[in-house]
Amino acid sequence: MTFPLYQDLLKNTSEKELSEPEKDDLIKKIKKVDEFGHELIYALIRSYQLEHEITYDLPYESKMLKLGLKFDLEKLPNRLKNIIVLFVDKHLQKMKEDSGDLTKVEKNKIKK
């Protein structure tokens, strides 16, 4: 079974290691993502895990908390981190569009 969002993000990312400022920026952005976005982040992590045949139940030493799973960014493979960066940027942009917060200039940039 394929997950089209995962496949699209996978082909547009690399194994590049994130710098410390990029990691910090990603953590800040993830906090802004809505519940649906968090669910998709988990689906992306799980898809990556299944594709690489890692067999333990909770992916990448995540921890189960009362409010859901908690992931340590340092435990995720570089490629997966890059997938999440790309997804979070796109999802935050979509959230912004949906809320009507975009100016006409920003909307024109998206269309191009």
pLDDT in the model for residue 30: 96
**For residue range 67-80, what is the model confidence (pLDDT) as tens digits?**
888 999 999 999 99
pLDDT in the model for residue 54: 64
pLDDT in the model for residue 39: 95
In this prediction the pTM is: 0.83
Average pLDDT over the chain reads 88
Domain that holds residue 81: 4-111
Please give the Cα distance from 80 to 86 (Å, whole number). 10
Is 112's pLDDT higher than 90? no
pLDDT in the model for residue 58: 79
CB atoms within 10 A of CB 49: 20
Is 14's pLDDT higher than 80? yes
For the chain, how many structural domains are there in total?
Answer: 1
**For residue range 54-69, what is the model confidence (pLDDT) as tens digits?**
666 778 888 889 888 8
- Alpha carbon separation from 75 to 4, 14, 16, 60, 99 (Å, rounded): 24, 17, 15, 6, 33
